[in-house]
Chain A
Amino acid sequence: MRIPCPYCGERDAHEFAYLGDATLTRPDPAAEDAEARFHDYVYLRDNPAGAHVEWWYHANGCRQWLKVERDTRTHAIAAARAAREADTPAGDAA
Chain B
Amino acid sequence: MSRAQRNRLEAGGLVDRSQVLDFSFDGKRYRGHAGDTLASALLANGVRLVGRSFKYHRPRGIFSAGAEEPSALVELRDGGRREPNTRATVAELYDGLEATSQNRWPSLGLDVLSMNRLVAPFLGAGFYYKTFMWPAKAWEKLYEPFIRRAAGLGRAAEGTDPDHYEKATTFCDVLVIGAGPAGLMAALAAGRTGARVILADEDFLPGGRLNAEVHEIGGQQGAAYAAHVAAELASLPNVRVMTRTTVFGVYDGGTYGALEKVNDHLRVPSPFQPRHRFWRIVARRAVLAAGATERPIVFGGNDRPGVMLAGAVGTYVQRFAVRPGRHVALFANNDAAWRGMLAAQAAGANVEAIVDVRGDVASVLTEAAKAKDIRVFTGARVIATHGKKLRTIDVASAERGHERLYIDTLAVSGGWSPAVHLTCHHGGRPVWNEAVAAFVPGATPPGLSVAGAANGSFALGAILKEGAQQGAEAAEALGFPVPPLDVPHTSEESTALQPFWHVADSKGAAFVDLQNDVTAKDVGIAHREGFRSVEHLKRYTTLGMATDQGRTSNVTGLAIMAELTGASIAETGTTIFRPPYTPVSLGALAGHHRGKDFRPVRLTPTHEWAAKLGAVFVETGPWLRAQYFPRKGEKDWLETVTREVKAVRSSVGLIDVSTFGKIDLQGPDVGTFLDRVYINTFSTLAVGKARYGVMLREDGMVMDDGTTARLAPEHYVMTTTTANAAKVYQHLEFCLQVLWPELDVSLASVSEHWAQIAIAGPVARTVLSRVVDKDVDVSDAALPFMGAIEGTVMGGVKARLFRLSFSGELGYEIAVPARQGAKLAQALMEAGHEYGITPYGTEALGVMRIEKGHVSGNELSGQTTAGDLGLGRMASPKKDYIGRVMAGRAGLIDPDRPSLVGFKPADRTKRLRAGAHFLGLGAPADMAHDEGYMTSVAYSPHLGHWIGLGLLKGGAKRVGDRVRAYDPVRGEEFELEVCAPGFIDPQGERLRG
A binding-site residues for B, Cβ under 8 Å: 1-2, 10, 12-13, 17, 19, 26-27, 29-30, 34-35, 38-39, 41-43, 55, 57, 59, 63-65, 74-77, 82-84, 87
Contacts and interface: CB of A to CB of B under 8 A. Distances in A.
Interface string B302-334: 000000000000000000000000000000000
B698 A41 contact: yes
A21 to B, nearest CB: 12
Contact of B739 (A1, A10, A26): A26
6 contacts: A12-B169, A12-B280, A35-B888, A38-B885, A42-B886, A65-B733
A34 B885 contact: yes
Contacts of B204: none
A87 B726 CA distance: 26
B738 interface: yes
Contacts of A27: 885
Contact of A42 (B280, B698, B726, B737): B698
Contacts of A17: 730
B253 interface: yes
Contacts of A84: 737, 741
Most A Cβ at <10 Å: residue of B253, B282, B426, B889: B253
Contact of A39 (B282, B741, B886): B886
A74 B280 contact: no
Contacts of B889: 35
Contacts of A13: 252-253
A59 B741 CA distance: 19
B251 interface: yes
A88 B738 CA distance: 13
A1 B256 CA distance: 10
B706 interface: no
Given A29-B885, A74-B252, A83-B737, 10 more contacts: A12-B282, A13-B253, A26-B739, A34-B885, A57-B733, A59-B726, A74-B426, A75-B253, A83-B738, A84-B737
A1 B734 CA distance: 22
B734 A65 contact: yes
Interface string B652-690: 000000000000000000000000000000000000000
Nearest to A35: B885
A84 B251 CA distance: 30
A2 B254 contact: yes
B253 A1 contact: yes
B699 interface: yes
A38 B886 contact: yes
Interface in B876-898: 880, 884-886, 888-889
B255 A1 contact: yes
A42 B734 contact: no
Given A57-B733, A75-B253, A84-B737, A2 B886 contact: no
B446 interface: yes
Given A35-B885, A41-B698, A2 B253 contact: yes
B635 to A, nearest CB: 46
B787 to A, nearest CB: 31
Contacts of B726: 59
A66 B690 CA distance: 33
Interface in B172-218: none
Contacts of B446: 74, 76
Nearest to A17: B730
Nearest to A10: B253
Nearest to A85: B741
B737 A65 contact: yes
Given A59-B730, A82-B737, A84-B737, A1 B251 contact: yes
In which size bucket is the chain B interface? 20 to 34
Contacts of B252: 1-2, 13, 74-75
Given A29-B885, A38-B885, A63-B733, A55 B280 contact: no
Contacts of B251: 1
A68 to B, nearest CB: 12
Most B Cβ at <10 Å: residue of A27, A38, A39, A87: A38
Contacts of A77: 253
Nearest to A29: B880
Contacts of B886: 35, 38-39, 42
Nearest to A63: B733
B658 to A, nearest CB: 21
Nearest to A70: B252
Contacts of A19: 734
Nearest to A1: B252
A2 B255 contact: yes
Contacts of A2: 252-255, 282
Contacts of B880: 29-30
A57 B730 contact: yes
A27 to B, nearest CB: 8
A77 B253 CA distance: 9
Nearest to A19: B734
Most A Cβ at <10 Å: residue of B252, B880, B889: B252
Nearest to B698: A42
A75 B251 CA distance: 10
A2 B280 CA distance: 12
A76 B251 CA distance: 11
A63 B731 CA distance: 11
Contacts of A35: 885-886, 888-889
Contact of A65 (B255, B426, B738, B888): B738
A39 to B, nearest CB: 7
Contacts of B734: 19, 55, 57, 65
A15 B247 CA distance: 23
Contacts of A29: 880, 884-885
Contact of A38 (B169, B698, B738): B698
Contact of B738 (A1, A34, A55): A55
Given A2-B282, A64-B737, A65-B738, A42 B699 contact: yes
A75 to B, nearest CB: 4
A25 B733 CA distance: 16
B50 to A, nearest CB: 42
Nearest to A65: B737
Interface in B586-605: none
Q: Return the 4 tightest CB-CB contacts between A and B, nearest first.
A: A2-B253, A1-B252, A75-B252, A83-B737
Interface in B219-257: 251-255
A87 B733 CA distance: 16
Interface string B701-744: 00000000000000000000000001001100110011101000
Nearest to B880: A29
Contacts of A63: 729, 733
A86 to B, nearest CB: 9
A26 B255 CA distance: 36
A57 B736 CA distance: 13
A74 B699 CA distance: 32
B328 to A, nearest CB: 49
Contacts of B733: 57, 63-65
B912 to A, nearest CB: 36
B184 to A, nearest CB: 29
Nearest to A55: B738
A93 to B, nearest CB: 16
Contacts of A87: 741
A5 B507 CA distance: 64
B885 A12 contact: no
B893 to A, nearest CB: 12
Nearest to B255: A2
Contacts of A55: 734, 738
Most A Cβ at <10 Å: residue of B254, B280, B729, B737: B737
Contacts of B255: 1-2, 12
A49 B446 CA distance: 19
B900 to A, nearest CB: 25
Contacts of A74: 252, 426, 446
Contacts of A59: 726, 730
Nearest to B747: A63
A43 to B, nearest CB: 8
A41 B886 CA distance: 10
A92 B739 CA distance: 15
